Amino acid sequence: MANAKIIQAKQQEVDAIATKLRESNCTVVADYRGLNVAQVTLLRKQLREAGVDFQVLKNSLVSRAAASAEMSELDAVLTGPTAVAFGTDVVAPAKILSDFAKKNEALKVKGGVVEGRFVDAAQVKALAELPSREGLLSMLLSVLQAPVRNFALAVKAVSEKNEASA
């Protein structure tokens, strides 16, 4: 029979993972088999700089945490060695892991959860191709400035035409 202290420790770990799943806007599950220590260290550094928590976890613990957090769909990708990236930014974990997977074929993105909804590997890759928040804001600003800029150019052209004919 399992020791009560071990069971309690595992339950605390499951509760911690479930909390991270609930609080995370983007959780990406990946298979890291085949990466060497230097590559994993580089990946962890990139994720840490973006504020993403990256952990290698047991599938059974993640499965129980997912059930506790009402995200049982995640069980579909919990096979083989599993690393999980938890991020508050919706795009950062997907973008960093997908970019790293392009350079290092050993890393395979399996799927994840984005804002409470299960996504497969293809959807994670599509999410990774979105511009960053700053890029989207600059695009929005450019669209909002366009009418004012066009109006200013039209006024300038009319004034130059009037000056030329006078």
**Buried residues in 111-141 as b, exposed as e (16+ CB within 10 A):** bbbbeeebbebebbbebbeeeeeeeeeeeee
Tens digit of each residue's pLDDT, the chain (166 residues)? 568 888 888 888 888 888 888 888 888 999 988 888 999 999 999 989 988 899 888 988 888 988 888 888 888 888 888 899 998 888 888 888 888 988 888 889 898 888 888 888 888 888 888 776 777 788 888 888 888 888 788 888 888 888 877 6
Q: Are 20 and 86 in contact (CB under 8 A)?
A: yes
Q: Where are the beta strands (DSSP E) in the chain?
A: 26-31, 53-56, 83-87, 108-114, 117-120
SS3 69: coil
